Structure 1
Amino acid sequence: MKPVRELTSDMGNKFASSGDFVMAVKFFTDAIKYNPTEYKLFGNRSFCFEKMQEYAKALADAELSLSMCPGWVKGLFRKGRALAGLKVNGLMTSITQLMVCNCVNVRHPQWGR
């Protein structure tokens, strides 16, 4: 049997995949309680917050993930999406960091406004 931290993360992924972001956030929050240093959990919860248009929370989680794993491409992407939602000037910094990694095409539809 899987440990609780994995089960809660798996459930968060299931709910996120089905579009139930409220439940996904609950499970990712529980998973974080069991594994508070797993940066990907904060990235996943950031994604859910962004989908729920809670951009300040999405940004906070993206920044937490990046504090644990600086330069994490998905974390930079999540931060950029949150900044775009907030319409904050830091968006260009995030895009620039991703471009330095050669990881993003700024014309990609996901960067649309």
Structure 2
Amino acid sequence: MAAGVIRKALEGGIPPLTRHQIPSHQTGMDGGDARFKPLRSPIDDASVARSQSLARQGSELSRMGRHRDAVGCFTEAIVWNPNDHRFFADRSFCYSAMGWHEEALRDALLARYLEPRWPQNHFRCGKAHLALQMYHEATRCFEAVLAMDPACEAARQELRSIGTYEAVRTGNGEESAAFTGAPMSEPRAAQPDLQPGNAGLCRSLMVENVTPHVTRDMLVRLFRPYGLMRSVHLQHDQECAIISYAHHLSAVKAVGALQGRVLCGRAITIRFADN
């Protein structure tokens, strides 16, 4: 069964037992998602135990950067217990790490629908929306996280990243400062290169902390959604890569969406490089 489940997961399919109906007001898209039907029947203890064991395996694989294998584990965990929102949230994280942002959004929406009181589900929705350049929806998700957990600095940083992109795109720093609730001149020691002044018209990005397991294809899948790419140079000996876009706004969007993304077990850091 495991091989079939993994194959369906990687092809974008979902086993019948995992399907839920998401109302349109929950998805943020007209009509909801008609591929899912309700399922909230009780799950026996043996199935719950099996699902939790599979989820632990998936979490360990994810920490090792083996996100594709982790997707298979989380998918099989969902087959045994489709009512646990954490399995969908964790699979969403893996899909995001693989650059499969539409699949990541689908799972994040399911997780949020199953448990809307958990901040992490809103955060995963926000990250998926952001990767798909759905900035308004992403903003609402990160604001929902802060409403539940005001101390969540990660959500606050994501809002600042969205504001940085808006400031560069519109050329109106004050408007973006109001949009994010933080002045654009506020120092950010952890991510200084996100500031618009550092971006300028730079079209190239230096991606650092890249593990030997990262491939050029992974980087293309990860950075391609943000604009037309000119080149990708992967330098494993220096644990870095240089990504070049055709337009500087693409580089700005990529920094805002991908800064700190975990790729093959490591959080990458991104800074603007010389064109």
Query: Do these two structures clear the TM 0.5 threshold for a shared fold by scoring above it?
Result: yes
Summarize deviations over 1:23-73 as a string: whole Å, max 9, x none: 000000000000100000001000001111111111111110111111310
Matched residues in 2 for 1:92 and 1:5: separation? 33
Could you say which residue in structure 2 is the equivalent of 1:96? 143
- Write the mapping of 1:2-81 to structure 2, written as runs, cut at 5 A: 3-81=49-127
**Kept after mapping to 2: 8 A contact 1:56/1:86:** yes
More helix by share: 1
Most deviating of 31-40 and 67-76 = 67-76
Most deviating of 65-74 and 94-103 = 94-103
**Kept after mapping to 1: 8 A contact 2:104/2:128:** yes
Aligned length: 110
**Kept after mapping to 1: 8 A contact 2:120/2:145:** no
Between the two proteins, what is the percent identity of the paired residues? 26
Question: Structure 2: 5+ residue runs without aligned partners?
Answer: 1-47, 162-255, 258-275
Matched residues in 1 for 2:105 and 2:115: separation? 15
User: Which one has more relative contact order, counting CA pairs under 8 Å at least 6 apart?
Assistant: 1
Write the letter of the residue equivalent to 1:19: G
Summarize deviations over 1:81-103 as a string: whole Å, max 9, x none: 10111011311111221122214
RMSD: 1.7
**Kept after mapping to 2: 8 A contact 1:65/1:75:** yes
Write the letter of the residue equivalent to 2:67: F
Aligned-partner SS, 1:40: helix
Write the letter of the residue equivalent to 1:14: E
**Kept after mapping to 2: 8 A contact 1:73/1:103:** no
Aligned-partner SS, 2:157: coil
By how many angstroms is 1:6 displaced? 2.3
Greater Cα radius of gyration, structure 1 or 2? 2
Write the letter of the residue equivalent to 1:104: C
**Kept after mapping to 2: 8 A contact 1:12/1:23:** yes
Matched residues in 1 for 2:90 and 2:73: separation? 11
Summarize deviations over 1:4-36 as a string: whole Å, max 9, x none: 222211111111010000000000000000010
Q: Which runs of 4+ in 1 moved over 6 A?
A: none
Matched residues in 2 for 1:92 and 1:75: separation? 14
More strand by share: 2
